[in-house]
Amino acid sequence: MSAVWLEEQARTGPVFDYPAATHPFVASPTRGTIVSNIAYWLNFRIEDNDVARKPNQKRRYEDLVEIVEEYALTWWRQSPSLYIFDTNVDIEHMAPLFKKCINPECDFFILGQLGKDVVKIYGKYNDKDIFKVMPYMEEL
C-alpha cells in the first residue's frame, strides 16, 4: 500500500471493487439497515401425468422458475428440479411465492436455507420419513 493510496482512503472513504448489487450485504430500502443475502436450496416435483390440470405442468414449472429468476441475485440450476440461489428476501416471504406456483394435489416443493435448520415443505408428498431426517422442517 502506498502512502498516496492511504491518504486517499482516509480522505474519501473506502472504495469497493464490486457493484453494489453484488455486495454480500444489501441496504434494506424499507428500514435503511444492512441485511445479509440469504442462500436457499429449492427442490421440487411438478407432476406431468395429468394433462387436464390447469395450469398445466409446463406452466407451473415456468411459474416456479420465474420466481427464482425474479427474486434471486444469483442462481445455479444444473438439475431441472434443484435450484440454489441467493436473495435478500426471507423464507417467510419466499415460500408463499412458490406455494402459488404449484398444484398441491400433485406437486410439492422443499425450500431450505443453506447452513441453517430452516426448511419449509408444501404440496403432495407421500414419504413422511423426511421429518425424521429433518425434524426441524415445517409444513406450509
How many Cα atoms are found within 13 Å in the side-chain-facing hemisphere of 131?
8
Q: pLDDT for 109-133, tens place per residue?
A: 999 999 999 999 999 999 999 999 9
102 contact partners, CB below 8 Å, separation of at least 6: 44, 46, 60, 64, 108, 109, 122, 123
Question: What is the CATH code of the structural domain delimited by 37-139?
Answer: 3.30.70.240
Domain ranges of the chain: 37-139
Q: What is the pTM (predicted TM-score) of this model?
A: 0.72
Backbone φ, ψ for residue 109 (5° rounding): -145, 155
Cα-based angle 130, 131, 136 (whole degrees, multiple of 5): 125
Q: pLDDT for 30-73, tens place per residue?
A: 444 445 699 999 999 998 866 666 778 899 999 999 999 999 99
